[in-house]
A and B are shown apart, each in its own frame.
Chain A
């Protein structure tokens, strides 16, 4: 079932992808990582993107995160056509609107947990006084206050990923992009991290998770499945659930 066809809870769209294409050259062979993608995302959505390796889900995440630019098509982010932005403007959009969570955390090893979370604020040129309050609030929210002075290599995997989430949300972005956020974690830490991400989603952040993990993917309200650069399935959990109910 196509999500666009369903009457959604929210009318306005946050993200609108139309006829998006991205092709890579592997040797002399063209690989269509994104093949004519059309997708609308509403504010507050919780979306999982699943699919086999090479299906284009990472490319989709990179394009959504403005790290990659499509070859053709349009990507409207809150009404702005991002395909027309310069490199500097895209950097500013990333800074202000998008948070990233990576599988391997990507913490700066020489900075403490607090400093890693503070980094986006530093790069954005926010005054130290304002930074402190924000970072302290996030440390408390993620239960990291006691670990704030530790370097990444003194933290467990789950703690590292929580620091990375803190860093992703410290600029209060509207969109949180997570690439295999539990991929390097044991089951319990993974569940903790997912709980935090879902809690953030409940507070209003739009969450898009790219994953191989079926269990994680199934938790999302909206599940997108990609194969060979195309969206082959786009389901809403609520509707499936209600269909399942009606079959029962």
Chain B
């Protein structure tokens, strides 16, 4: 049989019962639409999260004190040496390292004039501006003083400045951060939120002052930014070597931004797949609909199957004809479902731009393939029944 005739015969059968065919296809359409929408949401969230994290650049390695050893004893962690400012200075001398940011984070009350606001306090050094791409909108950044003897200068986040000073110029004003006096030397440009964490509602103070403020003897984290002349693995190795030499043991953890993005990406992909699987439940219902309709069709058209056999169709051709109908139903549903999903995603993007929805060509083609696979899976049993029918009995059926 010619392909064009094959398709025409299939479409003739399907269009002969328009209501029934479209309702069956609708079942698949709903399922495919659900899967497409949910994967779009999953993909959107993934892109949103990843772009939030990668806004700091990808060539960052974070060093945290303490090392989790599998099978190690809890007591071992107590012997950790703290990460110090001297560690940070040592790391800055490593080849390929462009910036080193020692970090201490806490929260406290910031008072200026008559106003007070409780928010996050970040202790860092001047390198934070280039390392984290935290640009200065007004004044200058944290001082480039030698560690331990920093002047009491503070830089305000964009929002904090708005809250405390309104429209007024805060440069040169003095504020109290957790009871210590600081002079404002700069204001950050607006950076926005990262995963609900407001990067603009912060005050930045020199890291040695922060250590004093929070009464800590060690840093919470050291971020090392390196140039693209070296690979992440090279840097991880040289940082590890340097710190082991200084501490005598590996009592710290290294996480590269690459690793973190990768593991985040993995988690989010699994999440997307899980959500898609939920949508697939409705696809299953649609598939059951196809099985039902095709079984009914085979029973109703028994004498037609006998006739086709008498006219010289072999079992394979009969099988293909009925399987083709099932696939056509499912594919039609799939295309309709994808179409509706695309329309919905584009519509939602226009109405609610904040909603992280992202159409992925990968998932769209997967949905299309899925609808074909469903047609095949749902249609094979009825089609087999049709093909294996005894033509004499079939011709006798009315």
Chain A bound to chain B: yes
- Residue numbers of A with Cβ under 8 A of B are 62, 65, 67-68, 87-88, 91-92, 94-96, 100, 102, 104, 106, 108-111, 119-120, 122-125, 127-128, 167, 171
Do the beta carbons of A94 and B312 come within 8 Å of each other? Answer: yes
Do the beta carbons of B395 and A106 come within 8 Å of each other? Answer: yes
Which one, B5, B13, B16, contacts A122 given CB within 8 A? B5
Do the beta carbons of B9 and A122 come within 8 Å of each other? Answer: yes
- Tell me, rounded to whole Å, the shortest Cβ–Cβ distance linking A100 to chain B: 5
Do the beta carbons of B312 and A124 come within 8 Å of each other? Answer: yes
Do the beta carbons of B392 and A120 come within 8 Å of each other? Answer: no
Which one, A108, A111, A123, A127, contacts B312 given CB within 8 A? A123
Asked, given contacts A91-B314, A123-B312, whether A62 binds B1 with beta carbons under 8 Å apart, the answer is no
B391 at the interface (CB under 8 A from A): yes
Which one, A102, A108, A120, contacts B304 given CB within 8 A? A108
- Kindly list chain A residues whose C-beta atoms are within 8 Å of the C-beta of B149: none
Complex CA gap A125/B314 in Å reads 13
Do the beta carbons of B1 and A167 come within 8 Å of each other? Answer: no
Complex CA gap A6/B308 in Å reads 38
Residues in B1-50 with C-beta less than 8 Å from chain A: 1-2, 5, 9, 12-13, 16
B306 at the interface (CB under 8 A from A): yes
Complex CA gap A122/B8 in Å reads 10
- Tell me, rounded to whole Å, the shortest Cβ–Cβ distance linking A77 to chain B: 14
27 A-B Cβ contacts within 8 A?
A: A62-B392, A67-B391, A87-B314, A87-B315, A88-B314, A91-B309, A91-B313, A91-B314, A92-B312, A94-B310, A96-B312, A104-B398, A106-B395, A109-B16, A110-B12, A110-B16, A111-B12, A122-B2, A123-B311, A123-B317, A124-B1, A124-B312, A125-B1, A125-B5, A127-B2, A128-B5, A167-B311
Do the beta carbons of A119 and B392 come within 8 Å of each other? Answer: no
Complex CA gap A110/B11 in Å reads 11
- Kindly list chain B residues whose C-beta atoms are within 8 Å of the C-beta of A95: 311-312
- Kindly list chain A residues whose C-beta atoms are within 8 Å of the C-beta of B391: 67
- Kindly list chain B residues whose C-beta atoms are within 8 Å of the C-beta of A110: 12-13, 16
Residues in B270-324 with C-beta less than 8 Å from chain A: 303-304, 306-317
| Most-contacted residue by chain A among B2, B306, B310 (CB, 10 A) | B310
- Tell me, rounded to whole Å, the shortest Cβ–Cβ distance linking B321 to chain A: 10
| Most-contacted residue by chain B among A96, A102, A123 (CB, 10 A) | A123
Do the beta carbons of B312 and A88 come within 8 Å of each other? Answer: no
| Most-contacted residue by chain B among A65, A106, A127 (CB, 10 A) | A106
- Residue numbers of B with Cβ under 8 A of A are 1-2, 5, 9, 12-13, 16, 303-304, 306-317, 391-392, 395, 398
- Tell me, rounded to whole Å, the shortest Cβ–Cβ distance linking A210 to chain B: 13
Complex CA gap A122/B192 in Å reads 66
Do the beta carbons of A67 and B312 come within 8 Å of each other? Answer: no
Known: A95-B312, A102-B395, A106-B304. 18 other contacts (CB 8 A): A67-B309, A88-B314, A91-B315, A94-B309, A94-B310, A94-B311, A95-B311, A100-B310, A100-B311, A106-B307, A106-B310, A110-B13, A110-B16, A123-B1, A123-B311, A125-B1, A128-B5, A167-B311
| Most-contacted residue by chain A among B1, B306, B314 (CB, 10 A) | B314
- Kindly list chain B residues whose C-beta atoms are within 8 Å of the C-beta of A111: 12
Complex CA gap A123/B304 in Å reads 14
- Tell me, rounded to whole Å, the shortest Cβ–Cβ distance linking A120 to chain B: 5
What is the chain A residue whose CB lies nearest that of B308?
A123
- Tell me, rounded to whole Å, the shortest Cβ–Cβ distance linking B61 to chain A: 67
Asked, given contacts A67-B391, A102-B395, whether A119 binds B304 with beta carbons under 8 Å apart, the answer is no
Complex CA gap A203/B48 in Å reads 79
Do the beta carbons of B313 and A123 come within 8 Å of each other? Answer: yes
Do the beta carbons of A119 and B1 come within 8 Å of each other? Answer: no
- Kindly list chain A residues whose C-beta atoms are within 8 Å of the C-beta of B5: 122, 125, 128
Do the beta carbons of B303 and A106 come within 8 Å of each other? Answer: yes
Complex CA gap A211/B32 in Å reads 55
- Kindly list chain A residues whose C-beta atoms are within 8 Å of the C-beta of B392: 62, 67-68
What is the chain A residue whose CB lies nearest that of B313?
A123
- Tell me, rounded to whole Å, the shortest Cβ–Cβ distance linking B312 to chain A: 2
Which one, B1, B303, B310, B315, contacts A65 given CB within 8 A? B310
- Kindly list chain B residues whose C-beta atoms are within 8 Å of the C-beta of A92: 312, 314
Complex CA gap A68/B13 in Å reads 28
- Tell me, rounded to whole Å, the shortest Cβ–Cβ distance linking A165 to chain B: 13
Do the beta carbons of B316 and A88 come within 8 Å of each other? Answer: yes
